Amino acid sequence: MVLMKVGCAAVKEDKEAFAVVPVSPQEVRDLDFANDTSKVLAIIVAKMESGNINHNERRLVVLCNTYIHV
């Protein structure tokens, strides 16, 4: 399986604004983790603002922050 990402080309011409370059599966997993974590944290922040956060959600925030700071 070949994974690709879109990136800016070094020299920009009207017909070639972007280049498709291969990326590692690890980079894809990292980006998926970041996207998923962002969505979960946004939901938890809303719960915190309304005062409806439970113990398990607090633990999840600590766990997410542990992975992010590694």
**pTM more than 0.75:** no
- What CA–CA distance (Å, rounded) separates 54 from 42? 15
- Indicate the pLDDT class of residue 7, thresholds 50, 70 and 90: low
Note the pLDDT of residue 1: 47
Note the pLDDT of residue 54: 92
Pick the more confident residue, 52 or 7. 52
Note the pLDDT of residue 5: 59
**Tens digits of residue pLDDT in 27-64:** 888 888 889 888 988 999 999 999 999 999 889 888 88
Helix/strand/coil for 1: coil
- What CA–CA distance (Å, rounded) separates 56 from 44? 11
Domain boundaries, the chain: 23-70
